[in-house]
Structure 1
Amino acid sequence: MRLTNPLRPIVLIVVILFSSPCALLAKEEKSIRVGFFPNLTHAQPLVGLARGSFQARLGADVKIDTKLFNAGPALMEAVFAGGIDIGYIGPGPMINGFIRSGGEIVRMVAGAASGGAVFVVRQDVKVDSPKDLEGKTLASPQLGNTQDISLRIYLRNNGLKPKGSGGNVGVIPIHNPDIMNLFREKQIDGAWVPEPWGARLVRETGGRVFLDERDLWQNKKFATASIIVTTGFLLEYPELVEKWLRAHVEVTEWINAHPEEAKEIINAELKRITTKGLPKEILNEAFGRVEFTYEPLVESINTFADYAYELGFLRQKPDLSNLYQLDLLNKVLTEDGLGPITAVTE
């Protein structure tokens, strides 16, 4: 009589199940949720995703789930809702979200863009000096976003106040496409916007650049976009964050070395996302105002934090000492012979 092991069929089933390709794929596949805007200042995700640079670095077993936003506050709300792992965002909403979470929810791991924000006014409206803004109606992309903070600080520094704060300047936070429409309809007199919306206001609605924000900053450099990572994702998947940063640095270097090819890709992506590409003259004008970088430009972010506090967007004076986590960026830069970056983080 032949004896059999009663556990043998069970063992065989388990071995077959966990050695099947489908089971291994389900076990190993990861997803990374990335948020950004269809703006020129977010060129790296536009170019890098189109060229497959991020996917190549992450590997075929990592799914990139992209999510688009009009402005930073909306992206930060998605972070709080647990819907974003990595995001490209301006200083204002990044700082606000960091402080709101008690310094827990995100870390800033790299820079993305400097410049690329302008204050545009209508040609038929007399605005030759800040004093001429009295009684005017102005717009920004969203309450508390980076351009909104810059506009309000500019008014304050020139002795002006918005309506509702004891002044007579109207400040309306609305989406960039709506700013275009209101400009055409002459319902607003000016707007502080990121590129390519500034160039579009000039070329498509008859506006003129009253102020290039670079002229307000030392060396004409200030953070327009940075990369944030949720703290939980960074702790659980530091290797994926490092791979993303490696691709980000590569894409940044590629854009700066191949500007004409980069413009074509950016325009194709903007057309795919918004259904409308940009005429060459608009793209060239907007592109010329943006510097694509991985440098964090920490000092300008600290200044934005002070501005947000002074304007009342933050209830307490900000301490950003735990916001900046640049070790992975410096690791990538050092290995690529580009770094490291030293930054004042307090």
Structure 2
Amino acid sequence: MKKIFYMTAVGVLLIVLSACGSSESEAGGEEKEADEITVGYFPNINHAAGMVAEEKEMYQEQLPDGTKVNYQYFPDGSAFMTAVETGEIEGGIVGPGPAMNHYVSGAAINVVAAGSKGGTVIMASNDSNISTPEDLKGKTFISPRVGCTHDVQFETMMKEEFGMTSERVQGDMKHVTGKPATYASMFEAGKVDAATVPEPWASVIETEGSGKVLVDTPEVAFGETLPAAVFVTSEKLKEKNPELVQNLVDAHKQATDFINENPEEAKTIAQDKIKEITDQGLEKEVIDGAWERIDFSYEVDESVLQDFADSSYNLKFLEEKPDLTGLVDKEFLKNG
């Protein structure tokens, strides 16, 4: 499959698996009629399948005639997962971290498809004198949150390949946190030396020229295998109305196939939709750069999610080793 494009708590213990990216749009909803549903997603590039499905009315195409489809845009993964659990939305696209968090906390939810993979990039400031990962010893790196998806990917790579860890576990690197949108300015101000960056912010930094790629997506831990987004629904809905869940998955698959077959049109849809929802535009050069680091795929491998959770535990972000058995249900992918 051609590679084409990213952006991921429930409790102090499990917040380490939370999503790292968020938007400024707010979630909201009203009581629904019996013949209407609501689908949720984030206005982020790695959620492009949601944007395409909305723009092309693919959910309406797959659902019974007359079904009204509403869309809800979320500021963070925890809000999304709460909406799924309460039935405020029937399902949609979210980062893998919040889905894992809520599942191990007892939520009756399932990942029924993936949304995209890839999009994490390790970058260094132009003035940091860093040319290889080994040069990070004694340096300061930034991630969106402690133990978030991108932090775990970076620290897993550094520990396994270079024997380096953060000061959090008596290691050699200083760790700070901040919003990815600020990384370019922090590089320029000399406040941090390196960053583990979700797209599209890596492409923003490249375009602005404030930093350079140190380790690109394929070489980052879980870089091409870990879902950057997953499609989630509730076990209650699955048991009550499996036909509806099948319709949702079929529309999601249709949107994903459209992205892979029509990348330029899909880019335009994503660019316009992000602008519409957030009132913040992304230049085409940034969209193009981010798109190249992502693989839009609905196939999901539960073993990768477990490996990622195990890595979080091994890095001491978690006190207990999580068991994700039962989180993924691929039956609807097989039936579609």
TM-score, structure 2 length as denominator?
0.80
- Determine if the alignment matches structure 1 residue 281 to structure 2 residue 281: no
- Determine if the alignment matches structure 1 residue 209 to structure 2 residue 213: yes
- Determine if the alignment matches structure 1 residue 141 to structure 2 residue 144: yes
Partner of 2:156: 153
Partner of 2:127: 124
User: Where in structure 2 are the equivalents of 1:88-103 lying within 5 Å?
Assistant: 88-101=93-106
User: Where in structure 2 are the equivalents of 1:36-75 lying within 5 Å?
Assistant: 36-58=41-63, 59-70=65-76, 72=77, 75=80
Write 1 or 2 for the structure with the bigger share of helix: 1
* Greater CA drift, 189-198 or 249-258: 189-198
> Once the 2 structures are TM-superposed, how far is the Cα of residue 126 of structure 1 from its aligned partner?
1.5
Q: Do the aligned partners of 1:120 and 1:202 also contact (CA within 8 Å) in 2?
A: no
Secondary structure of the corresponding residue to residue 295 of structure 2: strand
User: Where in structure 2 are the equivalents of 1:96-245 lying within 5 Å?
Assistant: 96-101=101-106, 104-157=107-160, 158-216=162-220, 220-245=224-249
Instruction: Return the alpha-carbon distance in structure 1 between the equivalents of residues 34 and 85 of structure 2.
Output: 26
Cα 1:107–1:117 change in 2 (3 A) is same
Cα 1:308–1:85 change in 2 (3 A) is farther
* Greater CA drift, 150-159 or 259-268: 150-159
> Once the 2 structures are TM-superposed, how far is the Cα of residue 118 of structure 1 from its aligned partner?
1.0
Instruction: Return the alpha-carbon distance in structure 2 between the equivalents of residues 259 and 133 of structure 1.
Output: 36
Instruction: Return the alpha-carbon distance in structure 2 between the equivalents of residues 185 and 60 of structure 1.
Output: 55
Secondary structure of the corresponding residue to residue 164 of structure 1: helix
Secondary structure of the corresponding residue to residue 70 of structure 2: strand
Q: Do the aligned partners of 1:92 and 1:144 also contact (CA within 8 Å) in 2?
A: no
> Once the 2 structures are TM-superposed, how far is the Cα of residue 143 of structure 1 from its aligned partner?
3.4
Secondary structure of the corresponding residue to residue 192 of structure 1: strand
Letter in 2 for 1:236: K
> Once the 2 structures are TM-superposed, how far is the Cα of residue 307 of structure 1 from its aligned partner?
0.8
Letter in 2 for 1:30: E
- Give the alignment partner of residue 275 of structure 2, picking from 268, 271, 277: 271
Partner of 2:19: none
> Once the 2 structures are TM-superposed, how far is the Cα of residue 149 of structure 1 from its aligned partner?
1.4
Q: Do the aligned partners of 1:118 and 1:198 also contact (CA within 8 Å) in 2?
A: yes
Secondary structure of the corresponding residue to residue 122 of structure 2: strand
Indicate the percent of aligned positions where both proteins have the same amino acid.
31
Q: Do the aligned partners of 1:55 and 1:64 also contact (CA within 8 Å) in 2?
A: no
Instruction: Return the alpha-carbon distance in structure 2 between the equivalents of residues 192 and 237 of structure 1.
Output: 41
Instruction: Return the alpha-carbon distance in structure 1 between the equivalents of residues 143 and 309 of structure 2.
Output: 18
> Once the 2 structures are TM-superposed, how far is the Cα of residue 212 of structure 1 from its aligned partner?
1.6
Secondary structure of the corresponding residue to residue 253 of structure 1: helix
Cα 1:273–1:222 change in 2 (3 A) is same
Instruction: Return the alpha-carbon distance in structure 2 between the equivalents of residues 37 and 317 of structure 1.
Output: 29
Instruction: Return the alpha-carbon distance in structure 1 between the equivalents of residues 83 and 183 of structure 2.
Output: 23
Q: Deviations over 1:61-97 (max 9, x none)?
A: 3342312235x45644665676554242333333232
Q: Deviations over 1:229-251 (max 9, x none)?
A: 12223333322221111111111
- Determine if the alignment matches structure 1 residue 254 to structure 2 residue 255: no
Partner of 2:34: 28
Q: Do the aligned partners of 1:121 and 1:210 also contact (CA within 8 Å) in 2?
A: yes
Larger Rg over CA atoms: 1
> Once the 2 structures are TM-superposed, how far is the Cα of residue 252 of structure 1 from its aligned partner?
0.8
Letter in 1 for 2:68: V
Cα 1:211–1:151 change in 2 (3 A) is same
Secondary structure of the corresponding residue to residue 28 of structure 1: coil
> Once the 2 structures are TM-superposed, how far is the Cα of residue 39 of structure 1 from its aligned partner?
2.2
Q: Do the aligned partners of 1:143 and 1:173 also contact (CA within 8 Å) in 2?
A: yes
- Aligned-residue CA RMSD (Å): 2.7
Letter in 1 for 2:105: R
Partner of 1:335: none
Instruction: Return the alpha-carbon distance in structure 2 between the equivalents of residues 315 and 79 of structure 1.
Output: 27
> Once the 2 structures are TM-superposed, how far is the Cα of residue 219 of structure 1 from its aligned partner?
10
Secondary structure of the corresponding residue to residue 319 of structure 1: coil
Q: Do the aligned partners of 2:222 and 2:308 also contact (CA within 8 Å) in 1?
A: no
Q: Do the aligned partners of 1:114 and 1:224 also contact (CA within 8 Å) in 2?
A: yes
Secondary structure of the corresponding residue to residue 234 of structure 1: helix
Instruction: Return the alpha-carbon distance in structure 1 between the equivalents of residues 172 and 85 of structure 2.
Output: 35
Instruction: Return the alpha-carbon distance in structure 1 between the equivalents of residues 249 and 186 of structure 2.
Output: 38
Instruction: Return the alpha-carbon distance in structure 1 between the equivalents of residues 93 and 156 of structure 2.
Output: 23
Structure 1, unpaired ranges of 5+: 1-25, 333-346
Partner of 1:23: none
Q: Deviations over 1:19-57 (max 9, x none)?
A: xxxxxxx853333251x3322211101222122222333
Partner of 1:5: none
Secondary structure of the corresponding residue to residue 88 of structure 1: strand
> Once the 2 structures are TM-superposed, how far is the Cα of residue 227 of structure 1 from its aligned partner?
1.3
**Taking CA–CA contacts closer than 8 Å with sequence separation of 6 or more, which of the two structures ends up with the larger relative contact order?**
2
